[in-house]
Chains A and B, each alone.
Chain A
Amino acid sequence: MKPHRRKKLGIILFIAAGLSVAVGFTAFALKQNINMFYTPTQVAEGEVGAGQHFRIGGMVKTGTVLGATDSLKVNFVTTDFVSDVPIQYEGILPDLFREGQGIVAEGEMDAAGVFQASRVLAKHDENFMSPEVKAALDAAGASADNHMPGGTN
């Protein structure tokens, strides 16, 4: 093999080795950090494994938001109009968190069957429903329009 070819081969091998290590690490990290998304109905039917960290999405059920008076704890119920899941969150809710609005929460179920949220997301565009919430409502065979007072948003 000519020297410059050998050098070229060396560089290509160097890049290939670097890339495969990177791909390996990436695949591993990806596998460790996937959050599944479930609808309230899926949660009610017990599809979620114990201790699993996941995301849940649905509408905030009207009349269910209860804030503690002496701490930052908030309880509310999320629904896809078929099943309900109670959620507890400690902290300040996003600006657009409101009853009757779609939200996505991240966290896990506790022993009592309450979803302990570590993060609550609400959209900042009112005309826009997050794809996850929409999918949850579609999956449950319900549409927000039929259920929300005041018709479409």
Chain B
Amino acid sequence: MIPEVGAFSLILALCLSMMLATLPIIGAYQNNFLWMSMARPLSAGVFVFLAISIAILAYAFVTDDFSVQFVAQHSNTLLPDRYKLTAVWGGHEGSFLLWTFMLAGWMLAVAIFSKSMPLEFVARVLGVLGFLITGYILFMLATSNPFDRIVPLPPIDGADLNSALQDFGFIIHPPTLYMGYVGFSVVFAFAMAALLSGKMDAAWARWCRPWANIAWAILTLGIALGSWWAYYELGWGGWWAWDPVENPPLITWLFGTALIHSLAATEKRGVFKAWTVLLAILAFAGSLLGTFITRSGLLTSVHAFASDPDRGFFILAILGITVGGALLLFAFRAPLMKSEFGFDLVSREILLLSNNVILVVAAASVFLGTLFPMVYQAITDDLISIGPPYFNAIFIPLMALLALLLSIGPYTRWKRTSTTYLMQQLGKVALAALTLGVLLPLLVTRQISLPATMAVAIGSWIMLAMLQDLVNKTANKATRLKGLRALSFSYYGMQMAHMGMAVMLIGVALTSSFSSERSVLLSPGQDVGLSNYVFQFEGTASVNGPNYVGEQATFIVLQEGEEIAILHPERRIYLATNTPSTEMAIDAGFLRDLFITLGEQKEGDSWSMTIYVKPFVRWIWLGAIFMTFGGILAAADKRYRRLRRKQTELNRESGKSNSIGGELQASS
């Protein structure tokens, strides 16, 4: 009975979201206050019913209700409670419910924190979001209802959650990624609301910026969590595979990064208006593309859910209607968006434009590499795959170029900057960065590698330029500390995110250049050397978990004869599905990770295993954390709050006069 309440609640959410998708938007056209003001309560209603739905699904998992098909397929009585709860997003149906619920959460946040925007605009934004949610719930009810029952004979026990997912990473990565992903739907809705209203001034860019920054920050974190999880769980020693399902978040991220920069130019200078709207549409399209690729089963990947062509068609239809409709509307409205072109060839506008061109080209080439096999197969019927070398060949030079320009950006002024000023400011920084680039890798690793030299040079170029900018900006204040306090949150946010880029760049280059690995067969008592570490295999013992049995090995790691770590990699067999699974053992460090994957037992007591030494790998995720904080800092800038307060008061006054008109209209 209870699962039916969940399904019923989903249908109620559908009804409310259908009203939300129509009434407020029509109200905005006819200037009907009553209809427009229904947007907020309707959004709250959709959120509440989706929350009830997802809570009931979680309840079905926790109570082992295997008569619900989705629960039977993704859980088991032996599964630990924390995984039972999170198995909600362990498969297609539930994860789509989570996706929709997250969007409803964002929508509720917009409804609450939008007091400063005109009601007409809020009604349109929430209406567009309601339209998206309508599509998503229809999709769920038509092709993938998580509350479907197995009748008449439910299984006694469930098939268990995929063993690779029974891990801490699974608890946090999907929700974070989804939250970032659907955040761009909000930005999309803002852009659509602006297009619908036909008022293409810079106001929408100002309202949108904090939302775009937060969505971007969360998406950054979500992607980084996925990379970190894949690194320690999948056991192949890598952190990025150019997998067809990793690529769409990256494409979205690249468009999103371009967007937050172009929004700055649109808000401050009123330039690139049409372009910014287009980027908002593209970032949203990227997020839907990710859904499509994962859930249609068209591409081979570690993430693919069980394939079902109907689902693919349905998502393609949602993609076509929303993105196609948006582009059509864009085409009609684009002539209205007149941008000023009052800037010189050396100016902040041009640097932001270069940033946008590089990021969009990068996104387009990743898109091409991801979808090319599909298109190729449709045309020639031959199956092909595109390897990582393609992506590396394109992506790395583009990012290096981006990073080079990145530290010039903050020095430039709007409209015009003199080249001599830039040379004078950055000449010494460039020289110092180059010296550091040559010396640092040489001193630390005693090896010469061109990628490492370049990455450290570019990384120090960014950081030194940043430090000098801080010195410049605080020079005229009474004390340095006062100077630092006077700088805005958005300035710190920008610098922090840029520094994150530098840290990540160094991490990527050094890990790729200096990592070493070795696959060996060892018996207890034997050891093997790698880099300047010795790994001593002590032997194995059996371990039993709640839903698995396994063998745990013990390794002692020595550096120059001294013991520095004890590692316990495991090899598990999950009981419900009889699937083997390896659990890596990692000794994480700021400068290097030591990493052991256990293979299988061979003749006698000997085991096959792979041992990795990965210098600076943590810097990749550290960089992403900096970027995340940067994005959040920028969104927390006082400027937005001040503006909000001022606007809220204005709205309240105009709201009073409006509401009288609305009541008149409603009664007539």
Q: Which A residues contact B (CB, under 8 angstroms)?
A: 4, 7-8, 10-11, 15, 18-19, 22, 25-26, 29-30, 32-37, 55, 67, 69-72, 90-93, 95-96, 104, 121, 124-128, 130-132, 135
Contacts and interface: CB of A to CB of B under 8 A. Distances in A.
Contact of B386 (A11, A15, A22, A35): A35
Q: How large is the interface on B (under 10, 10 to 19, 20 to 34, 35 or more residues)?
A: 35 or more
Contact of B300 (A36, A71, A72, A131): A131
A15 to B, nearest CB: 6
B389 A32 contact: yes
B389 to A, nearest CB: 5
B602 A124 contact: no
Interface string B430-450: 000000000000000000000
B626 to A, nearest CB: 28
A92 B341 contact: no
Task: Pick the 5 closest A-B CB pairs, nearest first.
Answer: A37-B383, A33-B390, A92-B599, A69-B603, A29-B393
Contact of A10 (B305, B345, B383): B345
Nearest to A136: B383
Contacts of B577: 126
B306 A125 contact: yes
B521 A37 contact: no
18 contacts: A7-B345, A10-B345, A11-B353, A25-B394, A29-B393, A30-B369, A32-B390, A36-B384, A91-B519, A92-B610, A95-B582, A96-B579, A124-B162, A125-B305, A125-B306, A131-B297, A131-B307, A131-B383
B341 A4 contact: yes
B609 interface: yes
B352 to A, nearest CB: 12
Contacts of A29: 389-390, 393-394
A30 B387 CA distance: 9
Contacts of A92: 519, 597, 599-600, 608-610
Contacts of B307: 128, 131
A72 B528 CA distance: 15
Contacts of B364: 22, 26
A90 B519 contact: yes
Given A10-B345, A126-B579, A35 B384 contact: yes
B368 interface: yes
Contact of A95 (B164, B300, B341, B387): B164
Contact of A37 (B384, B520, B608): B384
A96 B582 CA distance: 10
Contacts of A91: 519, 610
A93 to B, nearest CB: 8
A20 B84 CA distance: 51
Contacts of B298: 131
Given A96-B579, A124-B302, A130-B300, A30 B164 contact: no
B332 interface: no
Given A25-B393, A33-B390, A37-B384, 10 more contacts: A19-B357, A29-B394, A33-B386, A34-B386, A35-B387, A92-B597, A92-B608, A95-B580, A125-B304, A128-B305
Interface in B54-77: none
Interface in B562-621: 577, 579-582, 597, 599-600, 602-603, 608-610
- Majority SS of interface residues in chain B? mixed
Contacts of B600: 67, 92
Contacts of B603: 69-70
Contact of A36 (B164, B350, B382, B520): B382
B357 A15 contact: yes
Nearest to A4: B341
Contacts of A10: 345
B659 interface: no
B365 interface: yes
A78 to B, nearest CB: 15
A67 B398 CA distance: 44
B488 interface: no
Contacts of B163: 95
Contacts of B143: none
Contacts of A90: 519
Contacts of B152: none
A7 B304 contact: no
Contact of B608 (A4, A18, A35, A72): A72
Contacts of A55: 383, 385
A90 B608 CA distance: 11
Interface of B: 162-164, 297-300, 302, 304-307, 341-342, 345, 350, 353, 357, 361, 364-365, 368-369, 372, 382-387, 389-390, 393-394, 398, 519-521, 577, 579-582, 597, 599-600, 602-603, 608-610
A103 B306 CA distance: 16
Contacts of B394: 25-26, 29
B579 A128 contact: no
Given A70-B521, A95-B580, A34 B384 contact: yes
Contact of A4 (B300, B342, B384, B610): B342
Contacts of B393: 25, 29, 32-33
Most buried by B among A15, A33, A90, A91: A33
Contacts of A132: 300, 383
Given A29-B393, A95-B582, A37 B385 contact: yes
Contacts of A18: 357, 361
A69 to B, nearest CB: 4
A37 B357 contact: no
Contact of B372 (A30, A70, A128): A30
Contacts of B610: 91-92
Nearest to A37: B383
B341 A35 contact: no
B361 A19 contact: yes
Given A8-B341, A10-B345, A95-B164, A30 B390 contact: yes
A72 B361 CA distance: 42
A22 B361 contact: yes
A92 to B, nearest CB: 4
Contacts of A25: 393-394
Contacts of B365: 22, 26
A126 B519 CA distance: 27
Nearest to B383: A37
Contacts of A93: 599
A105 to B, nearest CB: 12
A70 B164 CA distance: 29
A71 B602 CA distance: 9
A26 B394 CA distance: 7
Contact of B306 (A15, A35, A69, A128): A128
Contacts of B608: 72, 92
B15 to A, nearest CB: 34
Given A91-B519, A132-B300, A7 B341 contact: yes
Contacts of B357: 15, 18-19
B602 to A, nearest CB: 6
Contacts of A69: 602-603
Nearest to A91: B519
A13 to B, nearest CB: 12
A74 B164 CA distance: 24
Nearest to A29: B393
A6 to B, nearest CB: 10
